[in-house]
Amino acid sequence: MEWAENRGIALAYIQPGKPQQNAYVERYNRTVRHEWLDLYIFETIEEAQQIATDWLWTYNNERPNMGIGGITPAQKLKMAT
């Protein structure tokens, strides 16, 4: 909290037991946990960072997202520009 405060970032908390108030983040967190976080036992922070980076690239560039019409986020971004 001090980190955010030092940077002028206001934290807004959702009500306990109300994940629908932050549905996009909750869905993303569930996807992260299901698709890679629960699959590995990390030996180092660097290993976790590398796996996260690899997964995020795949998520944005190779994995179709049904919420945006079955295309990847990268394809969606290209369409918007």
- Residue 68: name the closest of 52, 60, 32 by CA: 60
pLDDT in tens, 19-65: 788 888 888 889 899 988 999 999 999 999 999 999 999 989 999 98
Beta bridge partners of 71: 65
pTM above 0.85, yes or no: no
- Residue 73: name the closest of 43, 28, 42, 37 by CA: 28
How is residue 29 annotated by DSSP? H
- Do 36 and 55 form a contact (C-beta atoms < 8 A)? yes
Domains of the chain by residue range: 17-80
- Distance, in Å, from the CA atom of 15 to the CA atom of 77, rounded to the nearest integer, reads 32
Q: What is the pLDDT of residue 22?
A: 84
